[in-house]
Structures are given as C-alpha cells and as structure tokens.
Amino acid sequence: MLFTRSKILIACTLASSLAITACSNSNNDDKQSPLTASTPATGEASNLSERNAQQRLMNTLQQHFKKANINAKVLDIKATEVPSLYWVNLEGMSSVYATADGQYIIQGDVLRLGDSKIHNVSENLQSEANKKLLANLKTEDLLVYKAKGKTKHVVYVFTDASCPYCHKLHEHLNDINAKGIEVRYIAWPRGEQFMPAMESVWCSADRQAAFDQAITGAPLPPATCKNPVKEQYQLGLNMGVNGTPAIYNAEGVYLGGYLSPEELVERLNN
C-alpha cells in the first residue's frame, strides 16, 4: 500500500523533535564478514579502500533487506564524521545510518555535542540529496504562490489540506509572499483517507482557489485527471518527511514545521 512504510528493526533513535510544529502522518541470521573502514570516517570517501568498504556495506545491506523482506534499494552511501557510521540514502523511504559491519541501522538524527550549537551530523548529506530531488520538480506540478515584488527566497512546503498547522501557515501566506518569499506547495496527504481531497485540488482549474476551499474543510468535486499527488507523497518519504507542514529551502535544507513569517525569514537568512 502507498501509505504503509517498510518495517525496519531499529537499533536506537538518537534524537527526537523538541517541539511539535507539524501535523503527524496518520500511518505512520546468516553470519556476515566483518566490514571495517580502513580509514577514519570523515564525511568524504577519499580513497579506494574507503570506496571498497562502502561497496561491501551496500551489498551487505541489500542482502539483509532482502532477507527481512524490506523493499528498499540502496542509492548511495557516504561516510559521516562518526567513526564506522555511514549515511545511507534509500529509494522509497527516508535515509538511515548504518554501522560499518551492516548489522545495525539507525533511524533519526545523530547529533554532535560540544559546541555552542547542536550539530546534526546528516544535515549536509541529506540536504544535498534533497536539493537534487527538489530541482527535478516541475513548477506546473506544484501549487505556487509567487513573492510580491522581488523574489528573495523560494521555499518548498509539503502540505495537506486536512492539517491544522498547514491551515495556520496558509493564513499567513500573504505576509510570507510580501516578504519576498515564493512558496511552492507539494502535496503530502498524511493518510490514504486524505488522498482524494488533495487530488481534487491538483485537478482543479484554479488550484489556489481549490486549496483555499479544501483547507477550510469544504468538500471538493472528485478528482478527474492524471495528477502527481502520489508521486509527491513518495518524494516526501524519500526526503524523510513525516508530518506537515515540512518546509525546505531551495538548497534542500529542512527549515522546520509551522513557522511564523518572521521565523521563516530568520531561518532563511541564517
């Protein structure tokens, strides 16, 4: 089913969100040869030994996924600053961390302490992948609210008409546009029951008017066109979206869930 995530054995979750600013998704032993990176993981695979270690890890993970009936394809593996811990980009689901031996995977954030600000180890790795995915989107497949005057920033927002926080964000859209921010909505229904409403919005001749109507809870005529809603939902999964709104800048950096216009400007400028 589209809205059923693959079940994975999680070794541990290292961090969780400190504040709720988004609507959650409503659906939310053969022996292996030990794999040890020959050089410390520094975030860059800089030599042949490291690339070989990554290839062995990729093969091991694919074997484990197949054995556990997990439908996931490894797209890319990169070393992180944490020794023997790799960032794994997967097709069809959000990225994970994996230990060098391929025996454990971790979903969630790995945070580095010790500085004045907490550092998310995977932020640059994930944003690089996100940027490529967002760049492949066609504006005609999105719901676009252009900036007023000169465009200073472009943000991508995964949204759902049934989400109260999306409604709250949408109420401030004029203020956001007035600050020179172009908003590009991406459909991300939080459950299969919300799919028809989002498809109806995307099939409407005037998507903005339809979304304005749907987000107030008013019914829309059933969808009658080929639409990208399912593909956009899958895109969100690939980027690690688990609730709405989910706001990203054009560089693929996750800015947060609901943000006031002032908070959004601050995040973008920083």
Active-site amino acid positions: 160, 163, 166, 190
Specify whether the CB–CB gap between 115 and 27 falls below 8 A: no
Secondary structure in 3-state letters for 106-171: ECCCCEECCCCCCEECCHHHHHHHHHHHHHCCCHHHCEEECCCCCCCEEEEEEECCCCHHHHHHHH
Q: Alpha-carbon distance 239 to 26, whole Å?
A: 18
Q: Alpha-carbon distance 3 to 1, whole Å?
A: 6
Q: Alpha-carbon distance 222 to 196, whole Å?
A: 7
The alpha carbon of residue 228 and the mean position of all alpha carbons in its chain are separated, in whole angstroms, by 17
Question: Closest by alpha carbon to 173, among 94, 252, 89, 247?
Answer: 247
Q: How many C-beta atoms surround the C-beta of residue 38 within 10 A?
A: 10
Residue 86's beta-bridge partner residues? 79, 98
Residue with tokens 């890319």: 76
